[in-house]
Amino acid sequence: MMNEILYKCLIDKLSDGVLILDLDGRITYANPALEKLVNIPLAQSKGTLFSEYITSENSGLAGAAFKKATRNEEVRDLQVKVKHRNGNIIPVECNATPLIKNGKQEGVLIVIRDITERKKIIEELKISRQKYIQCFENANDAIFIADPKTGMLLDANKQAQKLIGRTKEEIKKMHQSKLHPEGRKEYHVEVFKKHVQAKSRQSYNVEVTSKDGRIIPVHLSSSLIKIGNKEVLQGIFRDVSDLKKLEEEKKQAERSSLIDFHTQLYNYRYLQRRLISEFAAAKRYLTPLSLLMIDVDYFKSINDTYGHQFGDEVLRQLAGLLTDNAREADIVCRFGGEEFIIILTNTDRLGAMRFAKRLGGVIKDHNFKSIAPKFKINLNVSMGMACFPEDGMKTSSALLDYTDKALAYAKEKGTGSIYLYNEINQAEISGSIIEEAGKQHTEILRNKFASLSRRMNQTVIESVYALARTVGARDAYTEHHSEEMAEYATQIAEKLNLTKEETEDIKHGAMLHDIGKIGIPDEILLKPGKLTKEEMKEVRKHPEIGADIVRQVHFLKHVVPIILHHHERYDGFGYGSGMRGQEIPLGARIVAVVDVYQALVSDRPYRKAYLKKEAIKIIREGAGSFFDPKIVEVFLNILKKEKQST
């Protein structure tokens, strides 16, 4: 008796419906979950035939299953539909077992589970699969699906079959390396393995062979995807035969000496011809014409730091950036060295300035990358412009000369400057330093030398930053970490109302704080696991190494303490000199806060990044022990406003 009570209590609390039928199929018991499922209380359903609650289309199936259960056999995973009191139809899954008492079958116990959600999910998956199949089959590009373990082709869409002239059945019997020309099998087997290991989208140009022996140039983009529960490698092949033809035409132009071989832009010879014709057209039709000259700031430091090969790659990428952002009617040329010119047709002074500012922002935000060894840098460019007819020139050569003078003026004013010809003081253009000295223009001379000093200092800064980026080339985290830190550190300094000079020092300190890691071996710096005591001791040398590097640059003398003490703790338990509180240089206290925050929200070799709210909590809890509380308060307010603006 006690066991029956316990069983009943247990069954009453089940989320699945439980039903007991006698051997005639009449309901003798239904638990609360089943009552809820069909919205009919036991008092009302007891004694009625369960077949009344089954839809007519499933009555035969349910009846056969019930007869099976009355013959002392179990029924598993039977799917039928039952009727709710309000007329709704509910899909359910049933498991029936004979109910035996004292060795004799008295009835049938059925466990009923509502599978409405499961059915819905299955239906959605079917729809999703159908959509994928439609996209797959009707895609404009050829798509091949391969087994990442064996390299055997599993599927191919219509365009893939058309591309190589083979049926889907033929393709399914092929290894992926057979898509490519004979003699390259081993190479493509290795490339396939690398694509599988990369776990990210890979793109490159390659050739495939059709059934009739034609060699077809394609652009291949491959990535690992999941179809159902199976991971496969999907390759999207775009036929670039027409593009190859265009490239051949461009080579013809190159052979005609109108294309700069290195950047694939028009060269100076073409510029001269085109500028004459465009200037003549502008005069004839009374339309505006502007000329924009662009020069990479401190390009020599890039070549000196990274080598000429990387410098050449930067120029190629910049050429592509200029072409992508110019209008179709504009003419982009390489003027020589690191200088470029864009002929802006039908563009007046205002339009030219708008374009130049937008272009300058695009260039500044762009990451210029190398393939091997891995480098990544940002550029600043100076720009000069002259405009016809607003600047009053009479010839195309004068337009070019005025533009060159505007660029020279922009270069003198400092990195990233943009100037129009009409903004230049003509006395500054024509007057030489000797003439000005003879006239005792001491103020002009003072400004000239100050400008020269700023440019020299900026050249040094660019070179030191370039050195710092070589650390980033070893560790991608360090690269982005330092640049983002510099932005936050600058904002904190401005909120604390520090002087322009102090703010600049803190910005440099944030950017260069990890420069000393250049002296730490890769096996320690990039180690994925926990460091040993000896390894940690080596890592803790990087502030001193960094300070020694920067100490050689006299005008960065105020940055040295920031680098040297950025791992001190506010409570005195950090490393460096064991400073505490206000003894720690202000710049070092600022860098300490943003350094830890940026480290927390970044992926590291030994852990995943924290969520921003988790990182903020850690920073807040460290106020007074690890960090200066005042700086923490300012920094958290900056983060709060940043979140509100997004």
pLDDT at residue 431, as a whole number: 47
CA–CA distance, 97 with 70 (Å, rounded to integer) = 9
pLDDT at residue 430, as a whole number: 47
User: Coil, strand, or helix at residue 235?
Assistant: strand
Identity of residue 619: I
| pLDDT tens figures, 466-499 | 666 656 555 555 555 677 888 899 999 999 999 9
Mean pLDDT of 432-446: 49
| pLDDT tens figures, 493-546 | 999 999 988 998 999 898 888 888 888 887 887 787 888 889 899 889 988 888
CA–CA distance, 594 with 3 (Å, rounded to integer) = 65
CA–CA distance, 592 with 258 (Å, rounded to integer) = 54
Question: How far lies 227's CA from each of 49, 73, 140, 260, 506, in Å?
Answer: 45, 39, 20, 47, 51
pLDDT at residue 473, as a whole number: 52
pLDDT-derived band at 305, boundaries 50, 70, 90: low
pLDDT at residue 464, as a whole number: 67
pLDDT at residue 427, as a whole number: 42
pLDDT at residue 436, as a whole number: 46
pLDDT above 60 (res 439): no
pLDDT at residue 195, as a whole number: 84
Domains and CATH numbers, the chain: 2-114 (3.30.450.20), 120-243 (3.30.450.20), 259-448 (3.30.70.270), 475-645 (1.10.3210.10)
pLDDT at residue 554, as a whole number: 72
Mean pLDDT of 417-441: 62
For residue 352, give the nearest of 303, 323, 379, 390 by alpha carbon.
Answer: 390
| pLDDT tens figures, 138-156 | 778 888 989 989 999 988 8
For residue 481, give the nearest of 303, 360, 602, 385 by alpha carbon.
Answer: 602
| pLDDT tens figures, 337-394 | 899 999 999 999 999 999 999 999 999 888 888 766 566 778 889 999 999 999 999 9
CA–CA distance, 341 with 636 (Å, rounded to integer) = 45
CA–CA distance, 244 with 247 (Å, rounded to integer) = 5
| pLDDT tens figures, 580-631 | 999 999 999 999 999 999 889 887 766 788 899 999 999 999 999 999 999 9
User: Coil, strand, or helix at residue 226?
Assistant: strand
Looking at residue 559, what DSSP letter applies? T
- The residue with greater pLDDT, 422 or 519, is 422
- The residue with greater pLDDT, 5 or 94, is 94
Mean pLDDT of 104-114: 88
| pLDDT tens figures, 241-293 | 877 777 776 666 555 678 888 898 999 888 998 999 999 999 998 899 999 99
Mean pLDDT of 22-38: 86
